Structure 1
């Protein structure tokens, strides 16, 4: 019986209750939201809940630094935001979320795989992704921390899923000339692949398993079933 490997989706790990802002939300209110909820950023939505952009801690502190205040590190950023939130309105920049946000926002859909969302974050150098429905309305948010939970799987769990992806009956025993070993998320596949088996296809199948961070291919071609070329006598 073939084991079906279930890939975790964004919808399974996202946070549904999202702290968000509107384009007219003031600089001071943005600072208060980020500081009070201890978050690194939030989406900006229009009146129809469609995502327009994202405002982060660094967007606010960078603007404040231009006015003579600086800060670095998560704790210092939060303290800086807290100070901004309690500063008299006349002493802070007269900006709104619409003027500070990064736009257009990079978003994902709930049915997308967690591994794909992680790759988007890495490629775009961002820490959070608003999750939207088919009409681009905000329904959740996912962060690097949310995605990291998926990759904090035990080696045994990963081994079982890799064995299923490669259609092996037992991940800890030799099967069809193959053996799987997983250490710290790195999968090693070794043994003899049959003449009808593509080693590249096996490697790709292992890479698609959630939690896999590397694949070492130690496969060798199995020539046992290949008939010898007949010798032609002169």
Structure 2
């Protein structure tokens, strides 16, 4: 069986975003100007309407454009929001997030789970893991926007040297190297006051607020094989999420009681 390396090809919508960003920066549009229509962009770039809408969604998330039904797309700002905007609705987008940013590893060490870590990772105390601390950077950020603490289960420790050297999601490295399949990813988001380690790693003022996002990756056996804690200063990050209804609601009940 031939293992195919994950593609590093830039998504087409991201290429469109890059081109439009250069045009905005170059003064092709002024604040308040109408932007090209979806139809015009489809014809210009020879892409589907879905691809164009994804590109426009990214620009909207960056705070650059405003879209209103009947009013078209208007340039709202010429400078993107200084915060890194994370928009994830699937594992595929999570993989793109990893390939669009980079990790700079600060330190790594083998550890054994104490009671607290065992409760977090749903494993037995004493289970071997490798902890990796890293800064996460994006191409358009001048400072790291996140401190990432990774926990890789000990039996997959051989992939740790690749972390920070390859712009590939860690769970994907494990899948490719060990044939593990992600069955489920859990995610918890909470507001925190940044601790001393995060303040030192990211260079933020003492007492700063932030978001802590904890993701656990479970394999087909239901066991956690990777944990990731991402800690973001409030002024460098925004989490964006869009929810879509998958099916129509049941039609059996035609009304509600107040």
What TM bracket, shorter-length normalisation? under 0.3
Write 1 or 2 for the structure with the bigger share of strand: 2
Structure number with larger C-alpha Rg: 1
Whichever structure has more helix as a proportion of its residues is: 1
Give the TM-score normalised by structure 2.
Answer: 0.20
TM-score (norm 1): 0.22
**Higher RCO structure (Cα 8 Å, ≥6 apart):** 1
